[in-house]
A and B are shown apart, each in its own frame.
Chain A
Amino acid sequence: MKKLMLACFVLLLASTLNAQNGYQVGDLASDFNLKNIDGKQVSLASYKDAKGYIVIFTCNTCPVSKAYESRKEELNKKYAAKGYPVVAINTNDPVASPGDTYEKMQQRAKEKNFSYAYLLDPDHVYTKKYGAMRTPHVFVLQKTKKGNEVAYIGAIDNDQQLENPQRENYVQNAVNQLLQGEKPSVASTKAIGCTIKWKKEASK
């Protein structure tokens, strides 16, 4: 009986910890309605033909995010037509990180010709809900009858500096497998990235 109680306690603890840490693979992800750099509101539901989404928590200022800019673009070019558009969300507070203001986001998107939505997340509501811990941090979602199921969490690939010919393209592999009706064989990865620049009064 004691053992059972302990097991229940551990389960409870684990579930609260999970809640704090955001989504795990298999969870249903919440939709959002956030302002895009063109001034329009964007939600996941607004992509009528999507089979899923490549949600990338990112920012203007992180060198790792910048290093991946062209690869984000490539992902959208390659997979939006197949039903998996890239949706980028800026995690950073514009006061804590002056390079991440709405105007600077617009500038960057224009300079680099972003073909995907680049959304604001005021007060980090969805950054926290999803559990993005660094930039860039990718969540691949698959549209199912139950909702948008998290299929992959982690890095775009394992080659930040583009110097490894045996690069593993985690996101591409995950989406390719989803398109073939399979579950991603690598469902979560880690990578070095930048911390999220939290709003001052909410920061630790």
Chain B
Amino acid sequence: MRKYLFIIIALVVFVLPVKSQQNSSNLQVKLLTLNELEQRIAKGKDTTYVVNFWATWCGPCVEELPYFEKLSTENAKKPFKVILISLDFKSKLKTAVIPFVVKNKIKAEVYVINEIDQQKYIDRIDKNWSGAIPATLILNTAKKVRGFYEQAFTYEQLTKAISTLVKP
């Protein structure tokens, strides 16, 4: 009997809290390294990826996020994926990024970048990038498309950039 009691207590103490924690953080946002991003895009073959680099503290980024949301819902049935990568500090994942995503009901995939060295990751994303955000990457592995934009978009500019880069 004692044995069972111990197991039950152990379950309550250790397993349950872990589960509920997982639920709350799994809900929205994970960390992502550039390697993981590259692998994901390479596997996507003919999927067009629109990868937006933003941060909760960046005004123009927050302003253009609804356009990326709209893009995501309007292309939901196509091989098309919007990925929002926040450059907020990792330490802000739970205090800033997740609350922001919940509050603004963002449905597109959101990650926080899991890279330490800005010197390296800025160049890896694009050699010509100064590091200013917002910035957006448009990629399609099968069509060998790679476009990089260090600018804020309107919805029209965004769809135009995609349609000129990715020919049907």
Contacts and interface: CB of A to CB of B under 8 A. Distances in A.
A and B bind = yes
Interface of A: 61, 63-64, 133-134, 137, 155, 158, 160-161, 163, 189-196, 204
Contact of A192 (B60, B122, B123, B151): B122
A61 B59 CA distance: 10
Q: Which of B57, B89, B130 has the most CB of A within 10 A?
A: B130
Contacts of B87: 192
Interface in B5-35: none
B118 A161 contact: no
A133 B57 CA distance: 18
Q: Which of A134, A163, A204 has the most CB of B within 10 A?
A: A134
Contacts of A196: 132
A19 to B, nearest CB: 15
* Chain A contact residues, majority secondary structure: loop
B119 interface: yes
A161 B132 contact: no
Contact of A191 (B59, B131, B134, B151): B131
Given A161-B89, A194-B58, A195-B60, A189 B133 contact: no
Interface in B87-143: 87, 89, 91, 117-119, 122-123, 129-134
A64 B88 CA distance: 11
Nearest to A97: B59
A195 B117 CA distance: 20
Contacts of A189: 119
B91 A192 contact: no
A134 B131 contact: yes
B91 A193 contact: no
